[in-house]
Amino acid sequence: MTAEPNEIKLKAIGTVRSEIKEPSRQKHQDIGSEIIIDSDLTEALDNIDEFSHIIILWWIHKSRRPAPMKVHPRGNPENKLMGVFATRSPDRPNPIGKTTVRLLERRGNVLKVRGLDAIDGTPVLDIKPYIPGYDSADNATAPPWMVKE
CB of 22 to its own copies, least distance (A): 21
Contact map string, positions 91 to 120, toward its own copies, x by CB under 8 A: -xxx-x-x-x-x------------------
Interaction of residue 129 with its own copies, rule CB under 8 A: yes
Phi, psi for residue 73 in degrees, rounded to 5:
-50, 140
Would you give the end-to-end CA distance of the chain in angstroms?
49
Closest to 118 (Cα-Cα) out of 32, 39, 10? 32
User: What value does the CA radius of gyration of the chain take, rounded to a whole number of Å?
Assistant: 17
Paired residues of 28 in beta bridges? none
Taking CB under 8 A as the criterion, the residue among 86, 105, 108, 121 binding its own copies is 86
Taking CB under 8 A as the criterion, the residue among 21, 22, 30, 47 binding its own copies is 47
Cis status, amide bond into 123, omega within 30 of 0: no
The nearer residue to its own copies, 23 or 100, going by C-beta atoms, is: 100
Interaction of residue 39 with its own copies, rule CB under 8 A: no
CA atoms lying within 13 Å on the CB side of residue 132: 3
CB of 120 to its own copies, least distance (A): 17
Q: How many residues does the chain have?
A: 149
Distance CA 147, CA 44 (A): 34
Interaction of residue 25 with its own copies, rule CB under 8 A: no
Taking CB under 8 A as the criterion, the residue among 19, 43, 66, 78 binding its own copies is 43
Which residues of the shown chain bind its own copies in the complex (CB under 8 A)? Answer: 4, 6-13, 37, 41, 43-48, 50-53, 55, 57, 59, 69-70, 80, 82-88, 92-94, 96, 98, 100, 102, 123, 125-137, 139-143, 146-149
